[in-house]
């Protein structure tokens, strides 16, 4: 548990977002969780602990419908969660640059947020970043069920709750796809990806690296790494990557 108390931001009507904001030396690091995850996960907590020791500003939060934030999960779309990220950057993070650290779907959101706030985002760190997963992450049969039934629920290997996807979310993701052309971001980007990831193909990070306009992009592949990259050596690599990026900004 963090020593920073949970606070709340009324980002929009019906969107009361829970967050923990640790003041410190900038740029402010903002952690973006994955799909059906929240700010209390292992990677977010480990980065928060490192930030405390390093005197770094750190912000983590729950998207609407997730964790301690208000709203129903199945009423959320990717565009709304992107707007939650922007609200955190605009209204909670200290003035000045931010570095976004995005896990899985959070890696998609960090790209969308950086495109919307290029003057604020000084760097990006993706952990098994999963842009456009509404395109490549579902079979044709899944897409037909989403269109016809409005939702699909599948067993999750990461918890007891089923992995639910709604037509609302899927359609919002299709509207926000990024990999069909160049991605006009010029800030430094670091991409961590496990080559044993069963959920997000590791070659997607290389595809993303190719499409980013930034010349300062590095992909770090972990041969035996899974999707979560939450083992102690994985966490150590994440912390070292964020620290090295912060030191050069």
Catalytic residues: 104, 197, 227
- C-alpha to C-alpha distance for 43 and 238, rounded to whole angstroms: 8
The two structure tokens encoding residue 163: 């992995």
Residue 246 neighbours by CB distance under 10 Å: 19
Q: What's the half-sphere exposure (Cβ side, CA atoms, 13 Å) at 95? A: 0
Full DSSP string of 99-131: EEEEETHHHHHHHHHHHH-TTTEEEEEEES--T
Place of tokens 């899985």: 104
- C-alpha to C-alpha distance for 244 and 229, rounded to whole angstroms: 18
- CB burial readout 202-222, b (16+ within 10 A) else e: bebbeebeebbebeebebeeb
Provide the 8-state DSSP code for 75: G
Pairing, β 121-127 against β 189-194:
parallel
Full DSSP string of 129-147: --TTHHHHSS-HHHHHHHH
- C-alpha to C-alpha distance for 190 and 205, rounded to whole angstroms: 10
In contact, 38 and 70? CB cutoff 8 Å: no
């Amino acid at each position: 548990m963090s020593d920073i108390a949970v606070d709340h931001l009324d980002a929009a009507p019906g969107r009361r977002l829970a967050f923990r904001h640790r003041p410190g030396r900038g740029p402010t690091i903002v952690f973006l969780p994955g799909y059906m995850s929240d700010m209390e996960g292992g990677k977010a907590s480990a980065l928060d602990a490192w930030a405390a020791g390093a005197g770094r500003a750190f912000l983590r939060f729950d998207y609407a419908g997730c964790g301690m934030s208000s709203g129903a999960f199945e009423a959320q779309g990717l565009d709304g969660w992107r707007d939650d990220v922007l609200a955190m950057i605009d209204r909670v993070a200290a003035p000045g640059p931010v570095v976004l650290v995005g896990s899985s779907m959070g890696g998609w959101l960090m790209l969308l947020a950086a495109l919307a706030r290029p003057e604020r985002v000084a760097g990006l760190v993706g952990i098994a970043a999963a842009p456009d997963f509404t395109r490549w992450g579902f079979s044709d049969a899944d897409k037909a069920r989403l269109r016809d039934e409005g939702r699909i629920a599948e067993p999750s290997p990461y918890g007891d709750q089923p992995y639910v996807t709604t037509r609302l979310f899927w359609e919002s993701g299709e509207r926000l796809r990024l990999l069909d052309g160049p991605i006009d971001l010029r800030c430094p980007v670091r991409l961590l990806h496990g080559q044993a990831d069963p959920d997000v193909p590791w070659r997607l990070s290389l595809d993303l690296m190719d499409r980013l306009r930034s010349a300062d992009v590095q992909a770090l592949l972990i041969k035996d790494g899974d999707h979560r990259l939450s083992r102690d050596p994985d966490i150590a690599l994440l912390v070292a990557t964020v620290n090295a990026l912060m030191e050069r900004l």
